[in-house]
Every structure is written in structure tokens, then in C-alpha cells.
A and B are shown apart, each in its own frame.
Chain A
Amino acid sequence: NAGVTQTPKFQVLKTGQSMTLQCAQDMNHEYMSWYRQDPGMGLRLIHYSVGAGITDQGEVPNGYNVSRSTTEDFPLRLLSAAPSQTSVYFCASTLQGQANSEAFFGQGTRLTVV
């Protein structure tokens, strides 16, 4: 039962570096999303996808890119990291983007930008 798998668990980047946070799910879920979690801010939606080839922006998309070439994978790219992107990132998947759907979360990636 892998569920939603995120890699890496921890990462330190220098300002201006790029990296990709990986997210994979094995539940054949159509809907996937990326959140960032900051102290006192809850979780804020960065980008989401309703299926392969379809992505859209959430509440805080600036500085991040996504793509969805397969149902299973939904990577998040930081093109030029900034200290403001220091955060914990969570990937989630849902069977369908329905109002009562349960979201399944990965274990998170803790990113520090110095």
C-alpha cells in the first residue's frame, strides 16, 4: 500500500538553484494537487491537476511549475529557488475532484532555501 509517495523528504537549496519535487500515486486517482504548509498559515494550494495533460493554478502558484504526463506522477518544479519558498510541501491525490472526496497526502518534503 504505497499510496502517495514524495521524494525527497528533505532538501536544502541555494538561492537561484532549481529542483523538482517528485510525487507519485498508485491509486489511479485522477485529481492531484500540491500544497505548501507554513507555520500559522495552514495549507495553501499551489497547483492542481484534474487528469493527465491538464493542470491549473491554485492560490499561490508564483515561482512553481507543474506538468502531468501520466496519471501516476505530478512533479513540482522550482525554477529559481528563493528563501520565501522555504516550506513543507505536500502532494495529495483524490479519486475524483468531487466535493465529498477524501484527499490522500504524501509524507511531505521539507525544503530550505538559503
Chain B
Amino acid sequence: AQSVTQLGSHVSVSEGALVLLRCNYSSSVPPYLFWYVQYPNQGLQLLLKYTSAATLVKGINGFEAEFKKSETSFHLTKPSAHMSDAAEYFCAVTSFGAGSYQLTFGKGTKLSVIP
């Protein structure tokens, strides 16, 4: 079964610093990978997704992620953190079960941005 592991439940960065959120996946087949963001007291929204078209994926709000098969990783980065980036970020992978694809989420990484 497919799964994802997010390293670090809480990451703090200074405003303007690089953001790096780590995600490693486990999959016996080529995976479809996603990053979702959850702002306080809101639902999740899609940041970006990898669907094998390109290994470097650009998303909304200046975020991007690189798929590295050799490292089974899909880390999320942003060159310069902004206060508005403070949120919880979830890496997810699709898995197939009972006739349908389902999203399996990591445990999440809460990003704090220090002014």
C-alpha cells in the first residue's frame, strides 16, 4: 500500500528565509503525489500535484516541489517565506482500493513564520 511520511511536525522559519518541508513516499507503482495546505480553521486546498509530466512542479503562492524517484521524495520548497504562509501542510499520495483511488495523507507539518 502507498504511504507518505512527513519529516518534522513543526517547522519555524524567519520571514524571507527558505521554506523546506519534507515528504517521502512509499509506493510499489509510480505514484501520484500532492501537497495540500490548511490555513487556520479552514479546509484543505491543493498547492500542487505531481502526475509524471514533469519532475519539478510549480504550485500556487510561489511553492514548488521536486519529485526524486531515487530518493522517493517530494519535498516542498519556497525561496522566501511570507507571514501569510503560516499554515499546516499535508503531503498525500493516491492509493487504489475497492475499485477507486483514495488519498492517503501524511501527518502534516505546521509551518510558523517568524517576523
Residues of A within 8 A of B (CB): 4, 31, 33, 35, 40-45, 48, 50, 56, 58, 90, 92, 97-103, 105-108
How many residues belonging to B are interface residues under a CB distance threshold of 8 Å?
Answer: 26
Question: Could you show 20 A-B contacts with beta carbons less than 8 Å apart?
Answer: A33-B102, A35-B105, A40-B9, A40-B107, A42-B108, A45-B104, A48-B100, A56-B99, A56-B100, A92-B103, A97-B102, A98-B101, A99-B96, A99-B101, A100-B49, A103-B36, A103-B46, A105-B43, A105-B44, A106-B43
Whole-angstrom distance between the Cβ of A1 and the nearest chain B Cβ: 13
Residues on B with beta carbons closer than 8 Å to the beta carbon of A103: 36, 44, 46, 103
Which B residues are CB-close (under 8 A) to A33? 102-103
List of A residues within 8 angstroms of B107 by Cβ:
40-42
CA distance A44 to B51 in the complex (A): 23
Compute how far the CA of A53 lies from the CA of B81 in the bound complex, rounded to whole angstroms: 46
B28 within 8 Å of A by Cβ? no
| 20 new A-B contacts at CB < 8 Å, known A40-B108, A56-B99, A100-B49 | A31-B100, A40-B9, A40-B107, A41-B107, A42-B105, A42-B107, A50-B99, A50-B100, A58-B102, A97-B102, A98-B101, A99-B51, A99-B96, A101-B101, A102-B49, A103-B36, A103-B44, A105-B45, A107-B41, A108-B42
Q: Which 10 pairs show the lowest CB-CB distances between chains A and B?
A: A105-B43, A97-B100, A42-B105, A42-B107, A100-B51, A43-B105, A105-B44, A99-B32, A99-B94, A99-B101
A107 to B40, CA, bound (A): 10
Contact (A97, B101) CB under 8 Å given A40-B107, A42-B106, A42-B107: yes
